[in-house]
Amino acid sequence: MVHACCQHLGCDPGSAVVVGDSPADLQMARAAGAAAAIGVLTGLNDKQRLESLADIVLPSAAELIQHLAAT
């Protein structure tokens, strides 16, 4: 899915940031070679389950803009 989205948008997967709330989302990001995999705690998974696959885990997508602006 990451490759298809990047192809549609005309960007390289290596410059993509993937945000997801499941291990499958984050594994997809890693498999595609995304620049970053960001976990959010809006689904059924807890921080411990996501943090081994994510570059960072945020409470929700609402914090994403603040985090990206600060980096």
Per residue, the 3-state secondary structure of 3-66, as one string, reads HHHHHHHCCCHHHCEEEECCHHHHHHHHHHCCCEEEEECCCCCCHHHHHCCCCEEECCCHHHHH
Domain 2-70 has CATH 3.40.50.1000: yes
Q: For residue 70, what pLDDT is reported?
A: 84
- pTM (2 d.p.): 0.89
Query: Could you report the average pLDDT of every consecutive run of 10 residues in the chain (71 residues)?
Result: 94 95 98 97 95 96 86 73
Q: For residue 46, what pLDDT is reported?
A: 94
Q: For residue 69, what pLDDT is reported?
A: 85
Q: Where are the domains of the chain?
A: 2-70
Q: For residue 65, what pLDDT is reported?
A: 86
